[in-house]
């Protein structure tokens, strides 16, 4: 069961630049730049306003910048600190041509496929860390995305469910 709470903010945030591509100038880094919004780019006031949750999903706009990924997730080691604990989170840029409500690869929309993948990543980020220490949610590469995500969730073992039932947030 999932409890979802939506928090909306129109506060500005920063982006983290990542260099990639060819290194024509020979300085040891790629010559192109793409961006992500990471937890450290979100204003403290927004983080402070969030309810305590097992994980977070941030939907944001790139405002014309090139995104590095269709979505990104970080586990508890780099999580959002809330309620005295780091929490896994995902970020998804929603102003991209691929973030649409058109069917793709067994999903009713490409947006749903991206969100499903990132949400499962945050579940994994939570479960593989202490106190649960469950195995990773893996699947065979090359599967169609709907089957890939389904196989990942099937990795939730009875032993892991048992650990989850004994712990709280």
pLDDT tens-digit readout, 72-87: 999 999 999 999 999 9
pLDDT in tens, 92-138: 999 999 999 999 999 999 999 999 999 999 999 999 999 999 999 99
Both ends of the chain: CA-CA distance in Å? Answer: 14
pTM here is 0.89
As a whole number of angstroms, the distance between CA 28 and CA 46 comes to 36
Q: Indicate if the pLDDT at residue 163 is higher than 70.
A: yes
Q: Which residues contact 86 (CB under 8 A, 6 or more apart)?
A: 76, 77, 78, 79, 80
Q: What residue segments make up the domains of the chain, in order of their start?
A: 16-166
Q: Give the pLDDT score at 169.
A: 47
Nearest CA-CA partner of 105 in 121, 89, 91, 116:
116
Structure tokens that stand for 77 in this block: 């080691």
Q: What pLDDT score was predicted for residue 6?
A: 86
Q: Which residues pair with 74 in a beta bridge?
A: 89
Confidence of residue 165 (pLDDT cuts 50, 70, 90): confident
Q: Supply the pLDDT for residue 167.
A: 64
Going by pLDDT thresholds of 50, 70 and 90, the confidence category of residue 1 is low
Distance CA 17, CA 33 (A): 6
């Amino acid at each position: 069961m999932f409890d979802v709470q939506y928090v909306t903010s129109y506060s500005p945030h920063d982006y983290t630049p990542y260099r990639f591509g060819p290194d024509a100038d020979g300085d040891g880094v790629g010559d192109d730049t793409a961006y992500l919004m990471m937890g450290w780019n979100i204003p403290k006031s927004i983080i402070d306003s969030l309810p305590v949750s097992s994980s977070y999903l941030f939907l944001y706009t790139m405002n014309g910048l090139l995104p590095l990924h269709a979505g990104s997730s970080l586990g508890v080691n780099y999580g959002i600190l809330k309620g005295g604990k780091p929490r896994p989170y995902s970020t998804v840029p929603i102003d991209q041509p691929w973030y649409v409500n058109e069917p793709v690869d067994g999903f009713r929309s490409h947006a749903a496929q991206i969100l499903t993948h990132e949400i499962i990543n945050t579940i994994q980020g939570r479960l593989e860390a202490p106190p649960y220490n469950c195995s990773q949610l893996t699947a065979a590469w090359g599967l169609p995305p709907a089957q890939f995500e389904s196989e990942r969730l099937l990795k939730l073992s009875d032993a892991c469910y048992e650990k989850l039932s004994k712990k709280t947030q």
